[in-house]
Amino acid sequence: MVTRQTIFDYIEDNYGVIPEYTFSSFPKYAALKNLQGKWFGLVMNVPREKLGLTGTDEVDILDVKIDPELGSILREQPAYLAGYHMNKDHWLTILLDQVDDKSALQLLDGSYQLVTKS
């Protein structure tokens, strides 16, 4: 299981960025932007039912930009869903309570690289 704090420490150490809390209606939503201001991730807490999952409790998720082919492969696994409130082909939602640090951070790195090179 990967935590919000692990993600936040990682992006600060590796990319020199800190999360931005830009949504007044959702104070725990953290936008992850590269130094040019492009989003490469979004950490949110959402009710499981809004993700089509059973239960009413909230779960932490990470949305990352992803190559559509890789996304379609990953979405076959239960820890990965189409991007929540994002483009369903180009963004992937990761259920943080179902993945390990290494997997989540690799996808975060890929997302950072995708938005930084464009």
**Contact in structure between 26 and 44 (CB atoms under 8 Å):** yes
d(CA 90, CA 64) in angstroms, rounded, equals: 8
Q: Hey, is 95 helix, strand or coil?
A: strand
**pLDDT tens, N- to C-terminus, the chain (118 residues):** 999 999 999 999 999 999 999 999 999 999 999 999 999 999 999 999 999 899 889 999 999 999 999 999 999 999 999 888 887 889 999 999 999 999 999 999 999 999 998 6
pLDDT at 87: 78
Within 8 A by CB and 6+ apart from 96, the residues are 1, 2, 3, 4, 59, 60, 61, 62, 104
pLDDT at 118: 67
